[in-house]
Structure 1
Amino acid sequence: MVASPLAGRRPATKESGRRTLARRLQRPGVWFVLPAALLLVIFFTYPLVTSLWQSFFATSGGVTSWVGLEQYARLFADPLIGKSLANAALILIVQVPLMIALAVGLAYLLNQSWLRFRGGFRLFAFLPAVTTLVAYAVVFRVMLATDGGAVNQVFAVFGVEPVDWLNNEWWARVALIAAITWRWTGYNMVIILAGLQSIPAELYEAARIDGAGRWQIFTRIVIPQLRPVLIFTTVTSTIGALQLFDENYILTEGGPNDATLTPVLYLYKVGFRQFDFGYASAIAWLLVVLTAVIAIIQFRLMREKK
């Protein structure tokens, strides 16, 4: 007796038919995802891996050789790395709290029901965020010029001596912090405003019934409820301080006396002016590690909140 070739096969079921149909439906999706995946590999993954590999090499006399961790050892002996990180820390300590405080105040004010033309005021406050970085930095450079700048002209009306904004170490830092604050306060305000609008109205009503004033409502209800949003805006602003480049490059090019030099600007100078790409890659990975540490802190803070 000859066995049938179909004797050992299991009969097709509805479940296996559904799986086969699902696989067929997924195949076109792979082709739709493929272009984005290729762009991610070409413009993100490949440069990332290449920069890490390049950080272990050094070029001398036109010859590139393997140096291992020597480029990373240079980071600890380079005084400009320390100064650039100190400048970024100064911006973080002074500018970030100032900007977040202004953003919270603006958002709280623009969330009040009694305020007329709230939409127009919100648009006006957010407009700096849609201004291109280069354009607004150039405008600030013209306004803060020592001779003929708009700011010094206003000071002259009140009999105040002109300030050398961009050539004095102290005032250059002030000018940079003012420019960044003007640019990003409205951006953070919109995020905080969204957080304010998610707070249940019942909390405000219960607080008023208990006799709480406006300041108590703000400190006991608004700020605690905004904690996740404030953590997010603070962390993103901190990462932005580490990645600062456009503003200080256009305003001062890191001067005077490296007073506004930041890690990314120093990376640019090392890589594209000194053509020391190995050391520039090491600086880039230092920033990657610092950014990762800040992200981990964010996740832990959010976990504690939950």
Structure 2
Amino acid sequence: MQEYQVTASEAQKSVKSFSRRRLRRELGAWGFMAPHLFFFIVFTMAPLVFGFIMSFHRWTLLDEPLFIGWDNFVRVWRDSRFWQAVSNTLIFALISVPLTMLVSLVFALLLNQKWYGKLWLLVAFVSPTFFGSVGILTTWRWVLSSAPNGLVNYYLSSIGVIKQPVSWFTTATMAWVCIIGVTVWWIVGFSVLLYLGALRRIPPEQYEAAKIDGAGPFERFVHVTLPWMRNVLFFDTVRQVLLAFGLFDQVYFFTGGGPAGATRTMVYYLFEVGFQRQQLGRAAAISWYIFIVVFGFALIQLFILTKSIRSAEE
């Protein structure tokens, strides 16, 4: 009986010791998470809640907020300029995302080969990704300036291609060509790194087996390279779509939404309504529409990615 009491007492002490260790471990984990959680609440959750409340008010910086219910959402829904901005953003995404991925994949395949000097080409592709938008877009605005001393106009006139300076942003087509071209040049480097890393992880035995089976370069690319890069390609697609729907800097620096609203995107329209017209409640409603659109595309892509992974595992 005494031995049983001693054993029970030791068991109770062991349980208490385990509980203390578990409590310390939990407190330590929450201690490490606390700074991130604090900034997440202050800079993410609080603005989301405040923006949602603001969307139900008519509010400028000079007037008191006036509750108007769903009126901001209804007026934005009926605004033709908003739907033009949605259309422009979709067109930009549908063109820029596949183009960026195609260019990145081509150069990643080239850089994956063994040839002298490829490191310099890799640095040339990747380095613009790490520069801020102000420096990059200010330089490109000078390059594409309509003035005679604009870099493109200067060299084209020097070799006799043009006689008069060309304004590169006066038509919608030329404006979008310039915006998409600069965007692809700017962000392609990160995708090249992603694809190059994915290509390096493909076992050489896969290509050797395909060669033995008589597969040519195109068949090896389709049946070996693409399946091994599937997850990276889907991840980059989601990333590119999110970047496309957030297009603002290029429009702000190059066109200001013109000509005649032809390059106005959803985020730029939000900027116009919120900061230029000081209609903060309606701008908050626009931001929630943007969130719904982007979240919807992200869910679709996540569903496709999950289905693709499951089919590959089966």
TM-score (norm 2): 0.89
Q: 1:143-178 CA deviation, whole Å, 9 max, x = no partner?
A: 001112111122213422332112332211111111
Match in the other structure for 1:3: none
User: What is the distance in 2 between the residues matched to 1:197 and 1:77?
Assistant: 51
1:143–1:151 CA contact under 8 A, matched in 2: yes
What secondary structure sits across from 2:178 in the alignment? helix
What secondary structure sits across from 2:98 in the alignment? helix
1:97 corresponds to 2:107: no
1:223 corresponds to 2:226: yes
| Farther-moved stretch of structure 1 (17-26 vs 262-271) | 17-26
| Aligned residue type for 1:26 | E
What secondary structure sits across from 1:12 in the alignment? helix
Identity of aligned residues (%): 29
How many positions carry a matched residue from both structures?
Answer: 298
CA displacement at 1:63 relative to structure 2: 4.2
Superposition pairs for residues 76-225 of structure 1, below 5 Å?
76-112=77-113, 114-147=114-147, 148-161=149-162, 162-225=165-228
User: What is the distance in 2 between the residues matched to 1:29 and 1:300?
Assistant: 32
Question: Which ranges in structure 2 are unaligned for 5 or more consecutive residues?
Answer: 1-8, 310-314
User: What is the distance in 2 between the residues matched to 1:174 and 1:158?
Assistant: 23
CA displacement at 1:298 relative to structure 2: 1.8
CA displacement at 1:13 relative to structure 2: 4.1
Match in the other structure for 1:74: 75
1:249 corresponds to 2:252: yes
What secondary structure sits across from 1:139 in the alignment? helix
CA separation of 1:219/1:32 partners in 2, compared to 1, >3 Å: closer, same or farther?
closer
Stretches of 4+ aligned residues off by more than 3 angstroms: none
What secondary structure sits across from 1:256 in the alignment? coil
Match in the other structure for 1:42: 42
User: What is the distance in 2 between the residues matched to 1:273 and 1:155?
Assistant: 37
Cα-Cα RMSD: 2.0
1:96–1:237 CA contact under 8 A, matched in 2: yes
| Aligned residue type for 2:256 | E
Match in the other structure for 1:12: 12
User: What is the distance in 2 between the residues matched to 1:305 and 1:13?
Assistant: 51
Match in the other structure for 1:5: none
Match in the other structure for 2:241: 238
User: What is the distance in 2 between the residues matched to 1:217 and 1:232?
Assistant: 22
CA displacement at 1:11 relative to structure 2: 5.6
CA displacement at 1:299 relative to structure 2: 1.4
Match in the other structure for 1:4: none
User: What is the distance in 2 between the residues matched to 1:194 and 1:20?
Assistant: 45
What secondary structure sits across from 2:58 in the alignment? strand
Question: Which ranges in structure 1 are unaligned for 5 or more consecutive residues?
Answer: 1-8
CA displacement at 1:219 relative to structure 2: 2.3
1:274 corresponds to 2:273: no
| Aligned residue type for 1:119 | L
| Farther-moved stretch of structure 1 (142-151 vs 22-31) | 22-31
User: What is the distance in 1 between the residues matched to 2:197 and 2:292?
Assistant: 31
User: What is the distance in 2 between the residues matched to 1:42 and 1:256?
Assistant: 39
1:294 to 294, 297, 306: 297
| Aligned residue type for 2:188 | T
1:145–1:166 CA contact under 8 A, matched in 2: no
CA displacement at 1:15 relative to structure 2: 3.6
CA displacement at 1:237 relative to structure 2: 0.9
User: What is the distance in 2 between the residues matched to 1:159 and 1:11?
Assistant: 93
1:58–1:64 CA contact under 8 A, matched in 2: yes
| Aligned residue type for 2:85 | S
User: What is the distance in 2 between the residues matched to 1:10 and 1:204?
Assistant: 62
